[in-house]
């Protein structure tokens, strides 16, 4: 009986089939670099302030280089470690990558992939070159040159050593001949992906709440681990994309900016007493869905690396799937997972099922329900009502000006204006109640209280004017009375008024057109023709 083997097509699964998005290749290499830097700092060969990961993307030559100054791999074990598949000496707890397969992802998106590394004390660097074109040939169903995964991996891999300074320590990945259709050479998109995904810091100049978040996490005993990731020859640092404001709405004409006024924190321990998660959400006006998908949604992070995407948290809202998705898009924030038993799955698009995961799901669902009621519904409704108050008060002022300037041209027009004033007063009463209740609940922060109180004062003044305005509407004579010259007879004037009345009635929903027609007729009749 022949011995069982691990077939060569496993290599295809671990390269082509591993990730739904080619950009995840960046994440895997950054993840490995982060772990290597941590080991270098722990061993004392690197200061945290000196640690860096450097990314070069050469669209012209179709090459990508990712290099860190972490621990590196010693020369005597480099070949063995780099040839291992699905075997890792990482603990899976303190380190982010532990399955030993992440580095294979790049083989699906290049003609060649090189792993170049050196460790302190070695006078040479190790270079492993994987021929990805040859790999594709061997993975053809008709090709029988190799049969198992390790035989195939060995067939595409070559090793060489080159001299290196003994004090050097690094690990470098080179993707050579990257196909443009993969999207990996689009530097702006790649950097945007890393800004969402990588274990990097906030930009304090753009996001004023950054300091508050950092300090809170430190006080709780869970400082956010960040790495310096530098872009291109200019070594420009990459930051998370949170800023002082967030655009809401989909259509350009309806888009608005919600300013981040504060942040709220959440912390939970598991039943075993271990820290479960810690997180934050931005407090805004919650006027609608956040437009920018790079900051939209509450996000999971483990080791400060994104797990899932901007939609993963949606299922924790105790709502229907559609409503939960809408709710999540109104929030921006992060949940940093802390418990050792909360392990990202191999695709890193969610967590492995476990009893602790069920604990987290229950706790986060309760919290999500509370913040949805408190902020998305409460704050959103209050903010909307406040905006409406301002709009209605202004609308009443404009209506009064129209009355004074001769807007009543017929009985029909009089009724239209009276109905409009009644609707303004009715709607305003409802919105005023909403705003006052929100003010009592403390929904509005100190920064907005002055604006709220001003709007309420203006509302009180406008409400007091309603009775006097109604009287003015009832007693107002037709503005058309003086539209025509004195040369027109009484019957002709009555006919003109009847015409204007018909126009007012016909264009009830379009008063601007009614007014334009009146002015056109008035102009035409300004001189009586014989």
Q: Are both 207 and 178 inside the same structural domain?
A: no
Distance CA 482, CA 493 (A): 9
Tokens encoding 504: 């007012």
| The residue count for the chain | 530
Q: Are both 204 and 115 inside the same structural domain?
A: no
Q: Are both 280 and 397 inside the same structural domain?
A: no
Q: Which among 318, 352, 386 is the end of a domain?
A: 352
Q: Which among 151, 185, 219 is the end of a domain?
A: 185
pTM: 0.72
Looking at the domain assignment, is residue 18 inside a domain? yes
Query: Which range among 38-52, 352-366, 367-381 shows the weakest confidence by mean pLDDT?
Result: 367-381
Looking at the domain assignment, is residue 227 inside a domain? yes
Distance CA 389, CA 232 (A): 51
Looking at the domain assignment, is residue 370 inside a domain? no
List the CATH number of the domain containing 114.
3.30.565.10
More confident residue, 198 or 374: 198
What's the DSSP call for residue 148? B
For 375-395, what is the mean pLDDT? 79
pLDDT category at 448 given cuts 50, 70, 90 is: confident
Q: Are both 338 and 440 inside the same structural domain?
A: no
pLDDT category at 106 given cuts 50, 70, 90 is: confident
Looking at the domain assignment, is residue 14 inside a domain? yes
The pLDDT score that the predictor gives to residue 420 is: 87
The pLDDT score that the predictor gives to residue 363 is: 97
Q: Are both 308 and 231 inside the same structural domain?
A: yes
- Phi/psi of residue 178, each to 5°? -75, 125
Check pLDDT > 90 for residue 490.
no
Q: 351 has which bridge partners?
A: 344
Q: Are both 276 and 169 inside the same structural domain?
A: no
Q: Are both 269 and 331 inside the same structural domain?
A: yes
Q: What is the pLDDT of residues 115-139, one digit of tens each?
A: 999 999 999 999 999 999 998 888 8
Q: What is the gyration radius of the CA atoms in the chain, in angstroms?
A: 34
Q: Are both 244 and 180 inside the same structural domain?
A: no
Host domain of residue 407: 377-524
**Percent of all residues in the chain with a pLDDT value above 70, rounded to a whole number:** 87
The pLDDT score that the predictor gives to residue 1 is: 44
Contact (Cβ atoms closer than 8 angstroms) between residue 530 and residue 487:
no
Q: What is the pLDDT of residues 174-223, one digit of tens each?
A: 999 999 999 999 999 999 999 999 999 999 999 999 999 999 999 999 99
Q: Which among 154, 185, 216 is the end of a domain?
A: 185
Looking at the domain assignment, is residue 482 inside a domain? yes
Looking at the domain assignment, is residue 358 inside a domain? no
Check pLDDT > 50 for residue 155.
yes
Q: Are both 158 and 236 inside the same structural domain?
A: no
Q: Are both 381 and 262 inside the same structural domain?
A: no
Chain mean position to CA 381? 22
Q: Are both 170 and 56 inside the same structural domain?
A: yes
Q: Are both 159 and 299 inside the same structural domain?
A: no
Looking at the domain assignment, is residue 258 inside a domain? yes
**Residue 530 Cα distances to 223, 378, 487, angstroms:** 91, 67, 11
Count of domains forming the chain: 3
Check pLDDT > 60 for residue 256.
yes
């Amino acid at each position: 009986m022949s011995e069982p083997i691990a077939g060569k097509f496993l290599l295809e699964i671990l390269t082509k089939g591993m990730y739904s998005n080619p950009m995840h290749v960046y994440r895997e290499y950054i993840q490995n670099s982060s772990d290597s830097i941590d080991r270098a700092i722990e061993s004392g060969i690197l200061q945290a302030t000196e640690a860096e990961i450097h990314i070069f993307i050469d669209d012209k030559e179709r090459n990508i280089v990712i290099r860190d100054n972490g621990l590196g791999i010693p020369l005597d074990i480099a070949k063995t470690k780099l040839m291992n598949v699905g075997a890792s000496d990482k603990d899976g707890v303190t380190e982010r990558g532990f399955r030993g397969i992440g580095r294979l992802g790049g083989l699906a998106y290049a003609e060649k992939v090189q792993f170049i590394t050196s460790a302190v004390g070695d006078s040479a660097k190790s270079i492993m070159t994987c021929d990805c074109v040859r790999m594709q040939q061997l993975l053809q169903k008709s090709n029988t040159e190799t049969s198992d995964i390790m035989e195939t991996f060995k067939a595409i891999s070559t090793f060489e050593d080159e001299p290196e300074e003994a004090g050097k320590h690094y690990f470098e990945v080179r993707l050579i001949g990257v196909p443009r259709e993969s999207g990996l050479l689009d530097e702006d998109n790649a950097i945007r992906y890393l800004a969402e995904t990588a274990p990097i810091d906030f930009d304090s100049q753009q996001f004023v709440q950054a300091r508050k978040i950092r300090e809170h996490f430190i006080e709780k005993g869970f400082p956010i681990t960040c790495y310096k990731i530098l872009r291109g020859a200019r070594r420009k640092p990459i930051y998370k994309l949170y800023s002082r404001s967030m655009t809401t709405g989909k259509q350009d004409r309806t888009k608005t900016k919600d300013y981040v006024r504060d942040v709220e924190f959440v912390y939970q321990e598991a039943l075993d007493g271990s820290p479960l998660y810690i997180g934050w959400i931005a407090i805004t006006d919650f006027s609608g869905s956040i437009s920018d998908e790079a900051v939209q949604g509450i996000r999971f992070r483990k080791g400060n690396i994104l797990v899932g995407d901007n939609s993963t948290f949606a299922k924790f809202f105790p709502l229907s799937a559609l409503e939960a998705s809408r709710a999540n898009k109104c929030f921006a924030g992060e949940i940093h997972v802390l418990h050792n038993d909360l392990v990202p799955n191999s695709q890193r698009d969610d967590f492995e099922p476990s009893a602790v995961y069920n604990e987290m799901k229950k706790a986060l669902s309760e919290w999500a329900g509370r913040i949805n009621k408190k902020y998305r519904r409460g704050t959103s409704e209050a903010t909307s009502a406040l905006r409406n108050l301002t709009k209605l008060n202004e609308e009443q002022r404009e209506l009064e000006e129209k009355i004074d300037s001769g807007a009543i041209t017929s009985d029909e027009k009089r009724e239209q204006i009276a109905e409009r004033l009644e609707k303004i007063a009715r709607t305003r009463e409802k919105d005023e109640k909403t705003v006052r209740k929100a003010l009592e609940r403390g929904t509005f922060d100190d920064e907005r209280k002055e604006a709220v109180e001003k709007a309420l004062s203006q509302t009180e003044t406008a409400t007091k004017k309603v009775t006097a305005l109604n009287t003015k509407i009832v007693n107002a004579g037709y503005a058309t009375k003086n539209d025509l010259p004195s040369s027109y007879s009484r019957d002709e004037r009555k006919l003109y008024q009847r015409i204007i009345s018909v126009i007012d009635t016909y264009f009830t929903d379009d008063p601007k057109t009614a007014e334009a027609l009146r002015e056109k007729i008035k102009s035409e009749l300004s001189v009586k023709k014989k």
